[in-house]
């Protein structure tokens, strides 16, 4: 066996692509309040783009409500603007230092749109998996001192990892789409 081919590293990179997709899925709104919806919101605070969770406390007091408690009064307008411009379809309601984010019911059109977004995230993950596969195949081709039979064995093993990762992506996508379409 060659030292040039690190199957474990390839597997970790593929797992990373799957977990990145799951993280993106958690930011998709399914009609229920979840603090993770705001994970990607960046606020212009003190002249720098800062994640919302570093400027404010985020809570989910009710199934259809998120509250954002801004720590610095001067940032309330910036936080409000960042949430409005984040394309989440949520309009904050100001209440002193607290912004209330009512989560509206998803209509059928929005649900279909969100399933397409989920599909895009899944396709990006598949592309990442295929890139890792290509890197692994290149390692096999460039490896010194292995014969054609060993190259075939390594290639088959890399393909099995790829197939397993793609199945995880497809299963996760199917579950997320079912969750989004659930009324």
Q: Which residues of 131-170 are buried (b: 16+ CB within 10 A; e: fewer)?
A: ebbeebbebbeebeebeeeebeebeebbeebbeebbebbe
- Residue 50 tokens, joined: 């800062």
What are the tens digits of pLDDT across the range 43-59?
A: 988 888 999 888 899 99
DSSP 4: S
Tokens 């007091």 map to which residue?
61
Q: For residue range 165-174, what is the model confidence (pLDDT) as tens digits?
A: 999 999 999 9
The CATH number of 35-102, from 3.30.1360.40, 2.30.30.140, 3.40.50.10140, 3.90.1150.10, is 3.30.1360.40
Is the predicted pLDDT of residue 30 greater than 80, yes or no? no
Q: Per residue in 103-151, pLDDT tens?
A: 877 788 878 888 888 899 999 999 999 999 999 999 888 887 788 888 8
Q: Which residue has the tokens 């940032």?
A: 75
Residue 31 falls in which region: left (phi positive, over 0), alpha (psi -120 to 50) or beta: left
Query: pTM value?
Result: 0.68
**pLDDT at residue 31 in the model:** 65
Quickly state the pLDDT bin for 180 (edges 50, 70, 90): confident
Domain residues of the chain, as ranges?
A: 7-26+107-181, 35-102
What CATH number belongs to 7-26+107-181?
Answer: 1.10.132.20
Q: Quick one: pLDDT at residue 23?
A: 84
- Please state, in angstroms and rounded to a whole number, the distance separating the CA atoms of residues 160 and 62: 44
Structure tokens at 94: 């100001």
């Amino acid at each position: 066996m060659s030292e040039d081919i690190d199957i474990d590293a390839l597997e970790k990179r593929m797992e990373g692509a799957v977990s990145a997709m799951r993280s993106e899925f958690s930011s998709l709104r399914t009609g229920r309040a979840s603090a993770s919806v705001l994970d990607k919101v960046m606020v212009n605070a003190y002249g720098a783009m800062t994640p919302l969770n570093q400027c404010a406390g985020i809570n989910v007091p009710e199934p259809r409500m998120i509250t954002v408690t801004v720590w610095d009064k001067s940032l309330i307008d910036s936080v409000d603007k960042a949430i409005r411009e984040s394309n989440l379809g949520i309009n904050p309601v100001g209440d002193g230092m607290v912004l209330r984010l009512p989560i509206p019911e998803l209509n059928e059109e929005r649900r279909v749109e969100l399933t397409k977004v989920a599909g895009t995230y899944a396709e990006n993950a598949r592309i990442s998996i295929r890139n890792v596969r290509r890197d692994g195949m290149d390692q096999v081709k460039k490896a010194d001192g292995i014969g054609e039979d060993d190259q075939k064995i390594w290639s088959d093993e890399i393909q099995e990892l790829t197939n397993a990762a793609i199945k995880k992506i497809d299963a996760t996508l199917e579950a997320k789409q079912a969750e989004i379409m659930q009324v």
